[in-house]
Amino acid sequence: MTAMPDSTIVRVPKAGEMVAAHLRRQIVTGELKVGDALPSEAALMERYGISRPTLREAFRILESERIIIVRRGARGGARVMLPDTGTAGRYVGTLLQYKGTTLADVYEARMTVETSAVAVVARKRTATGLGRLEAMLAEGEQLLDDPEAYGRRHDLEFHRLLAELAGNETMMVMLDILFSIIECHNEKVLREHRGEPEHLAKCRAAQRSHAKLIELIRAKDAEKAVTFWRRHLIQVSEFMIGDPGETVLDVLP
């Protein structure tokens, strides 16, 4: 019997996509560093044997990924930017919103990753890491009279520091993506509760939780630290989310 021909269609990348892929590899491998200027358009067109429209298509791809910035004019050109987890967060957030994901689902994922980070920090506690946590605790104490600043800046930075001290880059990026996804919702909640006594009380409660966690980390009690921090994050999600079953993620402006 004669075999049926394979009808699978293989998509051939466009020239602009191929050039973007080559430049992207140079950036992520460090061959091109943050702040470096890319060669001129004329030089790149000659190197890759492409037209100006094709090169500009490659530039548009890389600009949309926030890894280059292109300035027009006599002193313009393309420069390398630091890859931004916020861009990844927008892509992931859009996908989750399309799937009808709830905010409770996102907070649960955040809790899973963050408590894993806390376990690592407690087990491997160092004097330097403990000192950074205590310094941030002191900064938070100074902001308690400004609940908006505490909630908008300090609280999130404390959570980020926990991930950083765990020393796992993948975990840090994952948490930054999750933080960027829930940031818009958090801003809305902070605006709604601005000036309310409950908001100040929640900030003071968060500060006490930070202090308690640091005590458990100082004691290298990973099990109690994880249990305590999970309970704290559940309380945070209950405050931030009205109805866990109906509050659907919304990342669109």
Q: What is the pLDDT of residue 103?
A: 87
| Banded pLDDT at 2 (limits 50, 70, 90) | low
Q: For residues 74 and 19, what is the distance between their CA atoms, to the nearest angstrom?
A: 24
Q: What is the pLDDT of residue 228?
A: 98
Tally Cβ neighbours within 10 Å of residue 39: 14
Q: DSSP letter string over 197-211?
A: HHHHHHHHHHHHHHH
Query: What is the rounded average pLDDT for all residues in the chain?
Result: 86
Portion of the chain with pLDDT greater than 70, in percent:
89
| Banded pLDDT at 71 (limits 50, 70, 90) | confident
Tally Cβ neighbours within 10 Å of residue 12: 8
List, for residues 182-229, the tens digit of each pLDDT value. Answer: 877 777 777 776 666 677 788 899 999 999 999 999 999 999 999 999
For the chain, which domains are there? 15-80 (1.10.10.10), 86-240 (1.20.120.530)
For range 105-121, the mean pLDDT: 95
| Banded pLDDT at 247 (limits 50, 70, 90) | low
Alpha helices in the chain, H assignment, sequence order:
15-28, 41-48, 52-64, 85-98, 103-123, 127-143, 147-149, 155-166, 169-192, 197-218, 222-240
Contact 24, 78 (CB under 8 A): no
CA angle 215, 217, 221 (to 5 degrees): 100
Predicted confidence (pLDDT) at residue 74 exceeds the cutoff of 90: no
Predicted confidence (pLDDT) at residue 246 exceeds the cutoff of 80: no
Categorise residue 76: left if φ over 0, alpha if ψ from -120 to 50, beta otherwise.
Answer: beta
Query: In this structure, what DSSP letter does residue 99 have?
Result: T
Q: What is the pLDDT of residue 209?
A: 97
List, for residues 116-175, the tens digit of each pLDDT value. Answer: 999 999 999 999 999 999 999 999 999 988 887 887 778 889 999 999 999 999 999 999
